[in-house]
Structure 1
Amino acid sequence: ATKFSETGYVGGDVEDLVRDLVYEANEDIELAQYGIIYIDEVDKIASSHNLIGPDVSRTGVQRALLKPMEEAEIDLRVPHDPISQLQAIERFRKTGKKEKRTVNTKNILFIVSGAFNHLDEIIRKRMQEKGLGFGARIRSRELAESNLKEVKSEDLIAYGFESEFVGRLPVAVVLETLTTEDLYHILRNPNNPIIRSKKADFKSYGIDVLFEDDALKLLAEKAHQEKTGARGLVSAVEKALLKFEKRYPSTAHTQLLVTRALVENPAQELERLLAEPEDPEDRERFQQAWDRERAVLVERIRERAQELGGKFDTAMTDARLALIADRHLELGLDLPQAFEEVWLMIQQVREYELRFFERFNISLKFSEEGIDTVLAKALKAQVSVWSICENFSKDFEYGFKLVQEKTGLNRFLINPEAIENTETYIQKLIQTYFPGGTGAESGKLN
C-alpha cells in the first residue's frame, strides 16, 4: 500500500490495482470482475495525527480506495499508459469502433493486512476499567496478543483510518504468531523460496546443497528467537551459510550437507570440511540425505498427482513422479514448473508420432512405459526427446514396411523394448509376421 498516493500526485494510482488484476487474468474482464485484490502494509496508510497539510499518501489513498472497494467502473485505458493507448488504437483499426473497456468492481474481493504496531495499546486503553478503592480492577500493561482479538471499528478509526474506509472492511481477523513448528514446516515446503534460492546460489558454482531435518528444526528455532515472523528464516539461513558462500566456490567441493552441527557452529564446521574434502563418511551421509529427500518429495508429488495430472491431462506414472522429483532437486524448479517441463517432453513424443506418420504413412503409438523410457534417456543424455526418438527409430521404416506389406498392419505399439533393444524388437516383428502371414487385422496394435 505504501507505493500508492492520491490521484494527481506522484506515486501509484490505486485504480492500477484493478488494471493489474485484468492483466493477471489474461485480459479476461469477466474473470477479473470476480477476482481478489490483496493489499499488504495497509497500516502504513493510517493518517498521521501530527501532519500539517494534505496527507496524499495516507488519508488520500484511503479515500481513493473507497470507490473501488464499494462499486466503481474502472477505465482500463489511461492517458499515462502508452500500452493501453496502443491497444485501443489497434482495436479501433480492426473494428472501426471506439470501444470503452471498463471493469466493475462490485464483485471483486478486497483483502488488506498489516502489522498494526501499537494497535493493542489503543484497544487496551478502551477496555481498561478505571475504578477507585477495593472495586478497582488491575490489568497488566504488558503487550498482550489477546487484546488484538477484541479489536473494533472505533479502534481502527483511532489508529488513523477514515470511518468510511473501515466501514468497507466488515471482517477483521487476527493472525496468530508463527510458532517454531510453523517455521519448520515453511522450511520443509518444497516450494519454499528461502531454501530454493540458497540452493540456486550454490548451484551456480556447481555445488549441490541439501538440508538435514535436524538442521531445519534448529534454523526454525533460531528464526523464532528473532521475533520477526517468517522473515527471521532468511536471517537464520544467511548466518549459517554466509561463510560457506564466501569460501566454497573457490574449492573443489561439489556437495554441501547442512547439518545441525553446521548451523550451531558454521566456522568450525567449515574448517573441518575444508580439511577433509574427500571424506567418504560425508559423501555417504550426503547420498543418504539425497535419497531421503527424493523419497519424501515423490510422496508429496503423489499426493498432488491427481491435481497436476488433471491440469495437463496426462497419466502420472511412478517414473514420471520420480522425474519431477529429480528436476526439482537438480535444477531447483518448483513442483508445477518441474511437472510442466516433463509434460512438454511428453507432448514432444506425441508430436513425433504424428510426424512419423506424415513421413512414412506408418502409425506409431508409444505406451506410457515407452514414453517414460524416452524421457529418462533424453534427460540422462541431456539431449532432446526428438533426438532420442530419431536415433532408435532409424530401423523402424524398413521393418515396419515389411510387416505392413505382408499383413496390412500399419499401427505399432512402441514399448520399452522397442526403445532399449530396437534391433531385437524389429527381428521379433519380422519373425512373427513375415514368414507365417498370420492375417492380423489392419489397424490392430502390436
Structure 2
Amino acid sequence: IASAGGIQGRDVSGRGVQTNLLKLMEETEVNLHSQTDILGQMQAVMEMQRGGRPRPRTINTRHILFIVSGAFDKLADQVRKRITSGQIGFAHSGQTLDDDAEVLSHVETADIVKYGFEPEFVGRLPVRVACHPLKPADLREILLTSEGSVLNQYREDFAGYGIDFELTDDAVDRIAEDAYKEGTGARGLLTVLERLFRDFKFELPSTAIRSFKITRATIDDPRSEVKALLKANSQAQRDVLAAEVADFAKRFQREHGFELQFTDDAIEALVDESLERDKTIRALCEAKFNDFHHGLKLVSRHTGSSTFTIDRRVILDPEGELSRWVVESFKGGETPSSDTPRGDRDAADSDNAPHA
C-alpha cells in the first residue's frame, strides 16, 4: 500500500487504502458485512421475512492489535543515504552501514513518509522494529524444532511409502548454509529440501528400499546418491517386482476365475522388461493379458481346465500363444501348455496333418 516515488509516481491506490485503514486502527465499530456483500444482503432479507429489522453485525476494534509488516525494498538505502549525508559523526563512530537491519533500526517517521506512507497512517503505528535476517544457526533450529517443520512434512510423505531417512549433523548444517545463501529467509529451507529430495521421491516409492541416510555428499549430488542406492538394492528390487507378479496372478484369478502359474523364466522376463522400460509390473501385465480371459474361457470350455502355465514364450508373445491354445483345445487335446518345445509341437502338427 506504499512505495517509493519514482518515474511513474506513487501507487495511485495506496493513499485510498491507507485512508480506509485509519478508521479501523482506532476504537470504532466496524460492520462485518458491507452493503454490497451478498451474504450480508441475504441475512438481512431473512431477518426482515421473520418480521424484524435487520440487526447490524459489528465488531469493536479497541482490543485488536494491528501489525503492519513488509519487505520495504529500498528503504534501507534511503535511510543509509540520509545518515551518511547528514550525520558525519555516525559514520566515524565505528558502526557499520552494510547491515540493512542495523540501518533500519535508525529509521525515522520522515523516512517512512518519504517512502510512501501517509503521516496519519504512520502516526498510528508507534512501535517500529527492524528484523534481522536469519543466520544459518537460526535456520538449523527452525528446521529441527519448529512446529510444522518442512523436514517433518517430508518424513511424513516418505512414511506413507514405508520409507524412513536419517540426516547426519553435517547434512543439517549444509542444508542451513544453503538455505541462508538463498536469501529468502526460512522459505529457503523448502527450496533446498525440495532440490535434495526430488529424485528420492520419484525413485524410491516403487522399490524395496525402506531407509536411507542423508550426508553432506548427498546434498552435493543427490542424483548420484540415488543411483548408488538403487544399484546397491537391485536384488531386493527384483524380489519386490517378482512379488508384484504374484499379486497380479491373484487379482486375475479373483476377477476372472482362472489361475495363472508363472514360471521362473516368465517372472524373470517380466522383471527385466519392467526395469528396462521403466514400467510397473502391473502396467506390463495388464497390457499383455488385457483380453486374455476371453481366450481362456474358450479353452476352459473345451478342456475343463482353469489353471494355465505362463512361461517365457507367453510373456514374449501372449496373443500368439493364446491363439495356439485355443486351436489345440478345439482339436480335443489336453490342457494347453507352453512347456512343449516349439519344434516338437511343429513335428506333432505335421504328423497329424492330413495327407493327399
Q: What TM-score do you get using the length of structure 1 for normalisation?
A: 0.46
1:186 to 142, 152, 172: 142
Q: In structure 1, what residue type is equivalent to 2:58?
A: T
3-state DSSP of counterpart to 1:74: strand
Report the equivalent of 1:159: 115
Aligned counterpart for 1:268 among listed residues 214, 217, 224 = 224
Displacement of 1:168 after TM fit? Answer: 0.8
Amino acid at match of 1:98: P
Residue 205 of structure 2 aligns to a residue in which SS? helix
Q: Quick check: 1:129–1:137 contact (8 Å CA) kept in 2? A: no
> What is the alpha-carbon distance in structure 1 between the residues aligned to residue 216 and residue 235 of structure 2?
18
What is residue 132 of structure 2 aligned with on the other side? Answer: 176
- Over 3 Å counting, the alpha-carbon distance change for 1:128 and 1:260 in structure 2 is closer
1:70 corresponding residue in structure 2: 26
Q: Is the 8 A contact 1:218 1:260 kept in 2?
A: yes
Q: CA separation of 1:169/1:53 partners in 2, compared to 1, >3 Å: closer, same or farther?
A: closer
Q: 2:5 touches 2:115 (CA, 8 Å); kept in 1?
A: no
Whether contact under 8 Å (1:210, 1:257) holds in the other structure is yes
- For residues 345-364 of structure 1, the aligned pairs below 5 Å read none
Partners in 1 of 2:10 and 2:111 — Cα distance? 24
Judge conservation of contact 2:163–2:211 (CA < 8 Å) in 1: yes
2:193 aligned with 1:237 = yes
Q: Tell me the CA shift for residue 169 of structure 1.
A: 0.6
User: Counterpart of 2:80 in structure 1: which amino acid?
Assistant: R
Matches within 5 A, 1:4-403: 45-46=2-3, 48-51=5-8, 55-56=12-13, 58-91=14-47, 96-129=52-85, 142=98, 144-189=100-145, 191-277=147-233
Distance 2:235 2:141 in 1: 31
Q: Distance in 2 between matches of 1:233 and 1:53?
A: 34
Rounded to whole Å, the distance in 1 between the matches of 2:24 and 2:125 is: 13
Larger mean CA deviation between 186-195 and 145-154 belongs to 186-195
Q: CA deviation at 1:243?
A: 1.8
How far apart, CA to CA, are the structure 1 residues paired with 2:85 and 2:51? 69
Residue identity in the other structure for 2:208: A
Q: Is the 8 A contact 1:208 1:254 kept in 2?
A: yes
- Give CA-to-partner distance per residue, 1:269-328, whole Å, 9 cap, x none: 212211122899xxxxxxxxxxxxxxxxxxxxxxxxxxxxxxxxxxxxxxxxxxxxxxxx
- Give the whole-Å Cα distance in 1 for the aligned partners of 2:50 and 2:165: 54
**Structure 1 pair 199–88 and aligned structure 2 pair: CA distance change class (3 A):** farther
* Structure 1 CA distance for aligned equivalents of residues 48 and 191 of structure 2: 53
1:123 alignment partner, SS class: helix
In the TM superposition, residue 64 of structure 1 has moved relative to its aligned partner by 1.7
Contact 1:123 1:150 in 2 (8 A): yes
> Does structure 2 retain, via aligned residues, the 8 Å contact 1:181–1:220?
yes
Count residues in correspondence.
Answer: 233
Q: TM-score, normalised by structure 2?
A: 0.57
Asked if 1 retains the 8 angstrom alpha-carbon contact of 2:150 and 2:190, the reply is: yes
| RMSD, aligned α-carbons | 3.2
Partner of 1:169: helix, strand, or coil?
coil
Looking at structure 1, the residues matched to 183 and 126 of structure 2 have their Cα atoms a distance apart, in angstroms, of 29
Which whole-Å CA distance do the structure 2 matches of 1:141 and 1:169 have between them? 25
- CA contact under 8 A between 1:73 and 1:105: conserved in structure 2? yes
Q: Which letter does structure 1 place at the counterpart of 2:174?
A: L
Contact 2:10 2:116 in 1 (8 A): no
1:90: Cα distance to partner?
A: 4.5
SS of equivalent to 1:70? coil
1:137 and 1:269 map into 2 onto residues whose CA distance is 52
Instruction: Provide Cα deviations, 1:53-78, integer angstroms capped at 9, x if missing partner.
Output: 9712x222222211111233211122
Match of 1:360 in 2: none
AA aligned to 1:85 is Q
Indicate the larger mover: 260-269 or 174-183: 260-269
TM-aligned CA distance change 1:249 to 1:54, over 3 Å: closer
Match of 1:366 in 2: none
What is the CA distance between 1:137 and its match in structure 2? 6.0
**Percentage identity across aligned positions?**
37
Unaligned runs of 5+ in 1: 1-43, 281-446
Q: Distance in 2 between matches of 1:276 and 1:94?
A: 74
Separation in 2, partners of 1:195, 1:130:
47
Larger Rg, first or second structure (1 or 2): 2
